[in-house]
């Protein structure tokens, strides 16, 4: 065993770092659902690069496509030039994802991160409608650039902007009032009331399951009602599928469960498949009013990511197997979490969909203690929610049932030791 040298992170790297504080080791390698630290310890990954590693670390199918591409001197940096890798990806995306779902979307490459995709979605909605205001939801998370931050709820992150964040009005997300009030009526009421003071919005931006906001799951009927309201009032519906897309909740798009077709969809994180930066913004054909170059970015053409994205779509999305396995594995976590919430009623509850599952602690301190114990026992899991009160599980979709059970045992033991 070697000792882990961490001085340079403390002396040179900015105080802004965060994950490294909860997981104070130095990681060296990873494969599948496991990371290895420099001192030889193994960590089971229930975090999956915050949802960027749905197919696991260094997935061999994607790795071999990537190695072949690099070895053949394939284009690495391509801006928005036409390349063989991009053509292949667009064709596969159309044949495996869009066509089977009857989705007639145009595809924009907005720059490689989730927040880039959100910025492009907001700009496009404003350009199409000529309106500036956007409706967002309580506890939403859409990214750290100013437009995306303006539709994000978290007050600490908003304060980081240093300027007023304007042109966004938050509405209650599904179940915000614990089911006591029909949350949704507030929005339709103020839209129709000329005395409400609400500016007519260009768009509504919504996550179907709020990941960073604490694993808040919108019911399909709520999403459906939202989509109907938007279309009746000619407001564009943007679904931010950056974290919940690419199969995280089961189907490729998280909104499929509600049978809706959003006007605009944002994708990033796992679309590249291998953890390489990549994002897409999808929108209905008639919304494609961009002028050439009106939204751009130097790293829109990360061709190695196109290669791994293509391999992932081709391998994992030619049939229903991954979706079905994701739903089954999600149910396995939900069962284990339901046992814990029955044992520790009043202290612990649970919610989730597919392979995003949350264990919610009445006392937020206990959630971070559980994650701390889990780390010591070789398991990575993060907290989310406005007070970091939710232990959020986001394992790779390719995780085995044995690995899942191993991690769930660690979490159950940690919860027992914190709550008993
Ligand atoms: N939207 C959602 C729903 C997200 O979860 C995130 C990242 N957690 C983002 C946007 C921003 O993505 P990025 O960090 O790649 O900018």
CA distances for 271 relative to 90, 123, 180, 309, 410, angstroms: 12, 22, 38, 6, 30
Q: From ligand 1's centre to the CA of 397, what distance in Å?
A: 19
Distance CA 283, CA 297 (A): 19
Identify the residues whose C-beta falls under 6 Å from ligand 1.
Answer: 50, 113-115, 118, 141-143, 207, 211-212, 240, 242-243, 268
- DSSP code for 318: S
Structure-token pair, residue 113? 């991160």
Q: What residues contact 369, with CB distance under 8 A and at least 6 apart? A: 414, 418
Distance CA 322, CA 251 (A): 9
Contact 394, 215 (CB under 8 A): no
Domains of the chain: 7-59+321-419 (3.90.1150.10), 74-316 (3.40.640.10)
pLDDT of residue 180: 66
Q: From ligand 1's centre to the CA of 141, what distance in Å?
A: 7
CB atoms within 10 A of CB 399: 23
pLDDT of residue 186: 82
pTM, entire model: 0.98
pLDDT of residue 32: 98
Strand partners for 34: 31, 44
User: What crossing angle do the helices spanning 303-316 and 60-71 adopt, rounded to 10°?
Assistant: 140
Distance CA 93, CA 110 (A): 16
Q: Which of 268, 275, 276 to mutate to test the pocket of ligand 1 (most atoms within 8 A of CB)?
A: 268
The sign of the CA dihedral 138, 142, 147, 152 is positive
Q: From ligand 1's centre to the CA of 96, what distance in Å?
A: 24
Q: From ligand 1's centre to the CA of 117, what distance in Å?
A: 9
- DSSP code for 275: S
Q: Which backbone phi and psi does 214 adopt, to 5 degrees? A: 115, 30
Q: Which of 242, 270, 276 to mutate to test the pocket of ligand 1 (most atoms within 8 A of CB)?
A: 242
Q: Is 119 exposed, middle or buried (0-12, 13-18, 19+ CB in 10 A)?
A: buried
CA distances for 298 relative to 9, 72, 110, 273, angstroms: 29, 23, 10, 21
- Which residues of the chain, if any, have pLDDT below 70? 1-2, 180-184
Distance CA 336, CA 320 (A): 25
User: What pLDDT, in 10s, does the model give residues 312-370?
Assistant: 999 999 999 999 999 999 999 999 999 999 999 999 999 999 999 999 999 999 999 99
């Amino acid at each position: 065993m070697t000792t882990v040298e961490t001085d340079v992170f403390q002396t040179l790297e900015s105080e802004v770092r965060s994950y490294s504080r909860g997981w104070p080791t130095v990681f060296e390698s990873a494969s599948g659902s496991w990371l290895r630290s420099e001192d030889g310890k193994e960590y089971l990954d229930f975090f999956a690069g915050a949802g960027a590693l749905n197919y696991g670390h260094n997935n061999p199918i994607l790795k071999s496509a990537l190695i072949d591409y690099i070895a053949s001197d394939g284009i690495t940096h391509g801006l928005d030039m036409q390349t063989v890798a991009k053509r292949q990806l667009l064709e596969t995306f159309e044949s495996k994802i869009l066509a089977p779902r009857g989705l007639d979307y145009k595809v924009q490459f907005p720059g490689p991160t989730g927040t880039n995709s959100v910025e492009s979605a907001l700009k496009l909605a404003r350009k199409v409608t000529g309106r500036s205001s956007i409706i967002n939801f309580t506890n939403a998370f859409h990214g750290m650039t100013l437009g995306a931050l303006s539709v994000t709820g978290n007050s600490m992150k908003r304060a980081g902007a240093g300027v007023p964040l304007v042109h966004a009005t938050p509405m209650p997300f599904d179940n915000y009032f614990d089911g006591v009030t029909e949350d949704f009526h507030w929005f339709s009421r103020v839209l129709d009331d000329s005395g409400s003071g609400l500016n007519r919005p260009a768009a509504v931006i919504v996550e179907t399951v709020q990941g960073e906001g604490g694993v808040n799951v919108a019911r399909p009927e709520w999403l459906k009602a939202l989509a109907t309201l938007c279309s009746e009032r000619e407001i564009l519906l943007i679904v931010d599928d950056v974290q919940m897309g690419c199969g995280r909740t089961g189907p490729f798009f998280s909104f499929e469960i509600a049978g809706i077709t959003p006007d605009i969809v944002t994708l990033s994180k796992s679309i590249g498949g291998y953890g390489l930066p990549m994002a897409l913004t999808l929108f209905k054909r008639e919304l494609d009013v961009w002028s050439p170059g009106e939204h751009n970015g130097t790293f829109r053409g990360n061709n190695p990511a196109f290669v791994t994205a293509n391999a992932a779509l081709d391998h994992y999305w030619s049939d229903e197997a991954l979706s079905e396995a994701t739903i089954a594995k999600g149910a396995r976590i939900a069962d284990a979490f339901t046992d814990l919430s029955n044992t520790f009623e009043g202290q612990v509850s649970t919610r989730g969909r597919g392979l995003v599952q949350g264990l919610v602690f009445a006392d937020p301190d206990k959630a971070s203690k559980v994650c701390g114990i889990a780390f010591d026992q070789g398991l990575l899991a993060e907290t989310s929610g406005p007070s970091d009160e939710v232990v959020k599980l986001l394992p790779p979709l390719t995780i085995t049932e044995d690995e899942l059970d191993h991690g769930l045992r660690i979490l159950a033991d940690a919860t027992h030791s914190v709550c008993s």
